[in-house]
Amino acid sequence: MLHITTPFGRRSLTAAQVKAQATADGCPRETTVEKWAVLRDITEARAQLGLSASSLAVLDALATFLPETALQIGEAPSLVVFPSNRALVIRTRGMGEATIRRHLAALVEAGIVIRRDSPNGKRYCRRGPAGVIAQAYGFDLSPLVARAAEFAGLAEAVRSDALALRIARERVTLLRRDCMKLIEALDEAEGAPGASEPLRARYRATMTALPRAPSCSDLTAAGGALADLAADVCKLLLEHQESKESSGNATQNERHKQNSKPEPPDSEQASEEEKKEGSALGPQIAVPVVTDGSGQGSPPGHWSIRATYPLGLVLSACPDIRDYARGGIGSWRELVDAAGLVRSMLGISPNAWDEAREVMGEDAAAVTIAAILQRAEHIKAPGGYLRALVDRKRRGEFSLGPVLQALLRGKLGVPVSSNLRPTH
């Protein structure tokens, strides 16, 4: 039968104290919890429980008077502690008695501690003939057992909210970096920094709208706006580069001559399946191969990939290759060196790598390796796949623009729009 105890003196009985005693009385006696695990959950959920750090310090001090680590509600005094004020001062590392009383009241009001006051308000116990505590007056910690599941649920909700906030903040940080570097790449490509000022204004407006301590919803909204901005910048940047590449090709068509196709070694022949996957890195467009007067293909680097595709754009589309550069990638030479290392890791033979550099040019071959690495999980035979791309390049059917465009859209999670699809 439920019996509600009342506090000593002028202290009144509150609804929170009644609820705490009813919850503790209704808890199954076989329920067992780990003391320090419950205290950790209460610490994580302290904001929801309305507790301060000092209140938790007092609760921790009370818990130290229970020698057992596994807590179970047994007979009435089993979880009642009765420390003196002096003992609490020592256990709380010198906290004042008035402060301790204030935080004890907060713990009682939160339903985490129940007062079991004696007739005169003192805290003590009576022991039986065998030295076992028969009756105790002080602070009952049975709510730690009775409400353990509730505390665990609150703590899990706090952890989930914190994780969601952290993920949203990371997304905004990455998108901020992408937007700024893409805008800078657009400035370099157009040669007119003022042309991107409306995009910079959109970026500043989005970031200014964020409060000093943004919530998860604030960060989610900002992330969506930044993703749209990044997609728009990518669209302009790639359209500019494709138009530049097309205008360059128009002047070269009269000297076009296709090279003969050498047979690769049997060990790296591209299978029919790999050739069908030739568009896995993105759609392809035709780019003529420049020839000199002797009828041979032009030397690598005849048209500069560096001017067409800024290094920042390449690294935004293929960020995984950064992991293989010891000091980071800050120049095209470092990208080529990293690609040489990645080539070996992917199992691409030196012969295939040399052939790619000869046909595509060293910079374009390095970008191709970076793109293959970015989609390595979808490519079964990187060596044969690279040879298939080299063959496409010889036939004038392969260009890096659509490859980078597809990787950037996939990275940003933006659906392909009709005006972004390259034409054949």
**Domain count of the fold of the chain:** 3
Asked if residue 329 and residue 209 are part of one domain, the reply reads no
Q: What DSSP string runs through 300-336?
A: TTSS-HHHHS-HHHHHHH-GGGGGG-TT---SHHHHH
pLDDT at position 288 = 34
What average pLDDT score do residues 210-214 get? 90
Based on the domain organization, do 403 and 301 belong to the same domain?
yes
Q: Are residues 46 and 189 in the same domain?
A: no
64-93 average pLDDT score: 85
Work out the angle at residue 417's Cα, subtended by the Cα atoms of residues 412 and 422, and round it to the nearest 5 degrees: 100
The yes-or-no verdict on residue 203 having pLDDT over 60 is: yes
Q: How far apart are CA 78 and CA 68, in angstroms?
A: 11
Residue 188, in any domain of the structure: yes
* 137 and 184, same domain (yes or no): no
Mean pLDDT of the chain: 78
Q: Are residues 262 and 406 in the same domain?
A: yes
Taking residues 395-420, report their average pLDDT: 70
Contact 392, 402 (CB under 8 A): no
Of the residues 214, 230, 246, the one at which a domain ends: 230
Which domain range does residue 381 map to? 256-420
Same domain assignment for residues 202 and 56:
no
327 sits in the region (left: phi over 0; alpha: psi -120 to 50; else beta) called alpha
**pTM confidence score:** 0.51
* One domain for residues 266 and 404: yes
Q: Of residues 238 and 287, which shows the higher confidence score? A: 238
**Structure confidence at residue 71 as a pLDDT band (50, 70, 90):** confident
- Domain-located, residue 247: no
Show the tokens assigned to 383. 């060596």
Indicate if the pLDDT at residue 12 is higher than 80.
no
DSSP state of 67: -
Q: Please report, rounded to a whole number, the percentage of residues in the chain having pLDDT higher than 70.
A: 73
Higher-pLDDT residue of 7, 62: 62
Residue-wise pLDDT tens digits, 127-160? 777 777 767 888 888 889 888 999 999 999 999 9
Per the CB < 8 A criterion, the answer to whether 181 and 189 are in contact is no
One domain, residues 47 and 122: yes
| Residue 55 falls inside a structural domain | yes
Same-domain status, 346 and 390: yes
158 domain residue, yes or no: no
Q: Are residues 172 and 138 in the same domain?
A: no
Which of 92-106, 239-253, 306-320 ranks highest by mean pLDDT?
A: 92-106
Is residue 211 in some structural domain? Answer: yes
Phi, psi of 285 (to 5 degrees): -130, 155
Helices (H), 95-215: 97-109, 143-146, 148-190, 197-208
- The mean pLDDT value for 291-297 works out to 35
> Taking a C-beta distance cutoff of 8 angstroms, is the pair 324, 289 a contact?
no
357, 365 contact by CB (below 8 A):
yes
Length of the chain as a residue count: 424
Decide if 248 is inside a domain.
Answer: no
Residues 271 and 201 in one domain: no
The answer to whether residues 301 and 383 belong to one domain is yes
Report residue 285 as tokens.
């467009």
pLDDT band for 293, please (50, 70, 90 cuts).
very low
Q: Is 330 exposed, middle or buried (0-12, 13-18, 19+ CB in 10 A)?
A: exposed
pLDDT tens-digit profile of 93-111? 999 999 999 999 899 888 8
pLDDT over 70 (residue 278): no
CATH number, position 49:
1.10.10
